[in-house]
Every structure is written in C-alpha cells, then in structure tokens.
Homo-oligomer: A and B are copies of this chain.
Amino acid sequence: MLRLSRLFVRTLRDDPADAEVPSHRLLVRAGYIRRAAPGGYTWLPLGWRVLRRVEEIVRREMDAIGAQEVHFPALLPRDVYEATGRWTEYGDNLFRLVDRKGADYLLGPTHEEMFTLLVKDFYSSYKDLPVSLYQIQTKYRDEARPRAGLLRGREFLMKDSYSFDIDDDGLSRSYAEHRDAYQRIFTALGLPYVVVRAMSGAMGGSMSEEFLSPVEAGEDTFVRCTACSYAANTEAVTTAGRPARDESSTPLTRIDTPDCATIDNVVGLLNREYPRTDRAWTSADTLKNVVLAVRQPDGATETLVVGVPGDREVDLKRLEAQLSPAALAPLDEAGFAAQTALVRGYIGPQILGASSATGIRYLCDPSVVAGSAWVTGANEHGVHVTGLVRGRDFTPDGEIEAVEVRSGDPCPVCGSALRIARGIEIGHVFQLGRKYADTLGLSVLDQNGRQVTVTMGSYGIGVSRAVAAIAEFAHDDLGLKWPRAVAPADVHVVIAGKPGDATTTAAESLCSDLERAGLEVILDDRTGVSPGVKFKDAELIGVPTIVIVGKSLADGTIEVRDRLTGARDNIAVAEAPAAVIGLCRGG
C-alpha cells in the first residue's frame, strides 16, 4: 500500500515555469518526475511505477515474438562507431568522452554496431537464423534543444531490437512481426497511434515506418490522405507526380524591379506595370531561390541553392532528412559575403549549377516541373526576369522535395487531399538491410555453403517517451487520467473524515481487502490536509478509480468515482470491496 503520509511525492498547484506541454506540466505537478539536468529527469516513486509497467508491456510483447533480451553497456569505445562512420555522422548529437588513458568513448545513441558484432561473434550458419535480440536500455543523445519534459530528453529509456535474417523475405517477416508486436504494445498501453512512412535518417537502410501518437504536443508533422490509407511523416512525403508543362514559347524578358527584393513587391510591380491579360500575377508564378549552407558531419561545407514556387515555404526539416547526415542552415552574412555572384533578393538559377562558372549546386522542388516558365531574379540588383523556362533557360542539378507540405496537397497514391497533423514518435521500424552487416563483416554460410551477408532490421520504442505520450492523451484540466494498464495503482482511497474517526477505520479495512485481492492501493491517510485538497490531489495523480470514505459513511456508504468517465456512485460499505475489485478487474 502506498500511504500518502509516507509516499515520497509533492503535488504542485502551479505549473512549472519551463513546461510547455500538458504531459510535462502534469507529470511534474503530480509528482511523477522532476528535472535533474537539461534533458534529464528523475523518476519519482509514482512515475517509476508507470515507467516499469510500460516497460513490462513492451517486454511481454517482444518476448511473445521470440525476441531475446540482452543488455549492452551505454559507454562504448569509438572504434566500432568509427568503422560504420557513425562516430562522425552523428555530429553534435553524440556525447563523446575521453577516458583516463586518453581513449575515445561515446554514450550509445543506438546499438546497431554492437548487436551486429555480437551476432557475428556467435553465429556462422543459416541454421542459426532468424534471430531477434532486444534490450531496454538507457540511451543518450546530445539534443540541440531538449524540450517538453520526457518528450525530447538527452537521457531516455528505449527498447531497441534488431533482427537478423538470411534473405529479404526473412527480413520482411521479421519486420512484419515487429510491426504487429508494436501495434499490440501501443493498443495495450491505451495509446492511439498512426503508422506512417518515414525517412531512415542517420540509420541508413530502406523501408521504414514510424508509429506516431497524434497529439498537438508532438514534434513530428505527418500527413494522412483523406481518402486512401496513405500516411507519411512530412519528411518522407513524396509529392504527387506532376505532368511536364510546355511553356517554352514564353519569351524570356528582363524587367526593372527596383526595390523589389520580396516576392510580394515583385508581384505587385508586375500587376501594376506588366499586367497579364488572362489573370493577375501571383506569387505562384515566381521561382523563389533559397540559399543554404550545407555542413557535413566531417565539417565540410557547401553553399546550395534550392528553388521552390514563390507561394510555398521551404521545409528545412524535409530537406535535411534527404541530405542527412548533413546539417542545413540558411546562409549567413559571412556566407553571402563570400559568394559575390549571389545578389540577395535577385537570385535566379541562370548562373547556378555544379558545372556553371559559380559552381554553386542548384536543386529544385519537383513542383518546378520541366518546361515550366517562371518569374525570378536576374542576378543583378533591381532586375528580375519573366518567362525563365526550366530546360531552356536553366537546368537544375537535380530535384529535391523542398516545399512545406500543406493540408489539401494531393496524395501521391490517389490524388485526394492530404491532411496535416502533429504527432509524437513513439516507435520506429526499419529495414536496415545489409549496410551494417556489410561494413562489419557479418555473413553466414547458406544452404549451399556460400557466405552470404546477413540482412537486418532495427526497431525502436521510446519507453520513457511513451509515458509522456500517454499523459498527452490521458488527462483533463484536473490532472492525469491513466489507462488502467499503466496506472501507478488500481485504486486511490481518500480518507475524508477527521483523524481517528470512523472514516479511518473503514478506509483501512477497505484497503486491506483490496490488497488481499491483489490490487495496488494508494491510501490518502494524511492528517492536517483538507478533504478538498485530497480530492484535488487524487484527480491530479489520476489513478482510474477513486474511493472516498467521508461524510456518506454516516449513511453506510462510500463514494466511488471513475476518474476516466467522471461517474460517481455511492456503494454500501459491505459491498464496497467486491464492487471496487470488479471495477478494477473489468476496467
């Protein structure tokens, strides 16, 4: 029994100053977690219980698909991550350190390399495969902006598993098994989720999907088709193919555009001085050229210009996902100073391209289709051009998905409208393929005695993040509302009488009955705390069933509240244990 008179918990009436999202606010206020470091949280007794329940559900389902649990160190030597390039590719996100002997170490962000080498160490034949291994382990990433409590921390608990198969069919099966297990896990956790196509980022590999929990607090943006089943992280959206346009008869015309360094200014000037006969000029007629600094993990930098229609924004996260592991930023003043060919506000692709005199690489969004004509800069101060045709007047070095996806954009599968939403990444399944096995030499003998490279999958669940994701759904204005499967206790019994009166005896007796039936009970036995404060704390802590032993005891009843539905019921004292047990078991 958890007696609130002794339980190490303090509830707070006020939101912590740094809490932006409901889960962070409520987990701190209700005494589940406490900030210990930037991006590092201490689990207090109530939070630790929830985390362990989540962990047990994850473990149960991983065991059910035959995955075997192991546990690696977090502190790992550099050489293995050097072999796969991740020592460098992870960039600033990796915590690196040097030991007393001067050797380089890192704190593991994920363990692909270590698992690959372990299997290589043990297995040598197709007969040993398939095998799936997993761990539930503390991970470290030096996030640029740790935020939102448990949602983006620098130290967090993760379940990472890895499958090893002899061939692609095997990988597909292992992948499907993990995918199914993930669906069972999130369903058991009471956590709504959407499975979306994903980029694989610094992991390498091919097929990859994310499990996103769709809430506003999420950092990931994804699209869902309003008609078909297509869903994708916006980073991974491939825009629908568009037909080429033949606008090569449009004449290329220089126009003076003094003081027109913004698209609105150019469009305004065009409509005033060069009106179209068919319709007005709009920003969609312009080609916007965004100048970026691309920085590789090894420090190499490059200036890159990306062209998008003037009515769309560039989505740096999407670009970065495609250029991974490079990092992107708008070119800064010093960068512009070094690129004298680029006239800010008047940049056009005429002078760009890897093989041009400037040597500056130019990529454009697929919506800048072949044969299309554009208004854009003339690379001279105060001058633009109209009728600049792709393929006639400029040829990009390639295409890249660059525009910010919007609700209403066409689905790449069926063409219906996409809808945008935000979500929390709670799981990720990857078909890594042979990248790690190739690099680290993991091969086995097949049925014919030939060495074949093993193909791998990699599968992650943010265990600590899942606690916050559940809290994002499972709360109201009063506090948390835990699903029964992960609640820190089954019942929260409040003594709402005076110290030593009949309410104490009745509550203690009820709690004994509930504990004997195997229920986890919180008993608010605090003295010197008013019933009102106790009710508020019970609602804030958010155990699914709240029992109040108070005034109604004089009438021979206790009150049972359902924290999830808000329903209240008075139950005769004698029937209370059975009734509460029934609620908890049936719930």
Contacts and interface: CB of A to CB of B under 8 A. Distances in A.
Contact of A34 (B7, B68, B74, B118): B118
A63 to B, nearest CB: 10
A61 interface: no
A46 to B, nearest CB: 10
A36 B72 contact: yes
B92 A38 contact: no
B45 A138 contact: no
A478 interface: no
A48 B73 contact: no
A256 to B, nearest CB: 47
Interface string A409-451: 0000000000000000000000000000000000000000000
A70 interface: yes
A71 interface: yes
A518 to B, nearest CB: 16
Interface string A13-49: 0000000000000000000001011101111110010
A114 B36 contact: yes
A77 B38 contact: yes
A93 B44 CA distance: 28
Interface stretch (A96-104, A221-229, A391-399): A96-104
A6 to B, nearest CB: 7
Nearest to A31: B122
B96 A70 contact: no
Contacts of A105: 37, 95
Contacts of A567: none
A73 B142 contact: no
A133 interface: yes
A99 B93 CA distance: 9
A363 to B, nearest CB: 28
Interface string A116-135: 00100110000000010100
Tell me the interface secondary structure of chain A in the complex: mixed
Nearest to A37: B77
A45 B68 contact: yes
**Considering residues A36, A77, A92, which has the most beta carbons from chain B within 10 angstroms of its beta carbon?**
A36
A24 B45 CA distance: 35
A70 B95 CA distance: 25
Interface in A83-100: 92-93, 95-97, 99-100
B155 A73 contact: yes
A45 B68 CA distance: 6
A154 B101 CA distance: 13
Contact of A92 (B68, B76, B100, B107): B100
A70 B99 contact: no
A66 B8 contact: no
A355 B45 CA distance: 56
Contact of A107 (B10, B75, B133): B75
Nearest to A131: B8
A69 interface: yes
A36 B6 CA distance: 42
A533 interface: no
Contacts of A99: 38, 95, 142, 154
A48 B34 contact: no
Contacts of A34: 118, 121
A338 interface: no
18 contacts: A7-B68, A8-B133, A36-B73, A37-B76, A41-B73, A42-B70, A42-B72, A42-B73, A43-B71, A48-B69, A48-B71, A73-B155, A74-B138, A74-B155, A75-B95, A96-B97, A99-B154, A100-B144
Sort A-B residue pairs by CB-CB distance and give the 4 closest, nearest first.
Answer: A40-B73, A97-B97, A43-B71, A92-B100
